[in-house]
């Protein structure tokens, strides 16, 4: 994700951004054991991220309906 932003290849769609974020979280689970601080941090970050995405989508849909 950082490489994409650093090279100014920005996300064209929300789906592209979310797919990369999901891949990042999946990789964190795959390559770190559950006992590590990395796994625990990514788990918390994923939960926070998912909640914020849901809030953002709900706000967007509410605005669209207005």
Render each residue's pLDDT in the chain as its tens digit; 66 residues. 888 878 888 888 999 999 999 999 999 999 999 999 999 999 999 999 999 999 999 998 999 998
Residue 11, phi then psi, degrees to nearest 5:
-70, 130
What are the structure tokens assigned to 20, written together?
């990369």
pTM comes to 0.76
Neighbours of 38 (CB within 10 A): 13
Cβ atoms 39, 33 nearer than 8 A: yes
CATH superfamily of 2-65: Bromodomain-like (1.20.920.10)
Domain boundaries, the chain: 2-65
């Amino acid at each position: 994700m950082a490489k994409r932003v650093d090279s100014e290849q920005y996300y064209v769609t929300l789906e592209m951004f979310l797919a990369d974020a999901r891949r990042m979280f999946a990789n964190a689970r795959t390559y770190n054991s559950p006992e590590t601080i990395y796994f625990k941090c990514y788990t918390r970050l994923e939960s926070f991220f998912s909640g914020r995405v849901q809030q953002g989508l709900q706000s967007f849909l509410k605005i669209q309906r207005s």
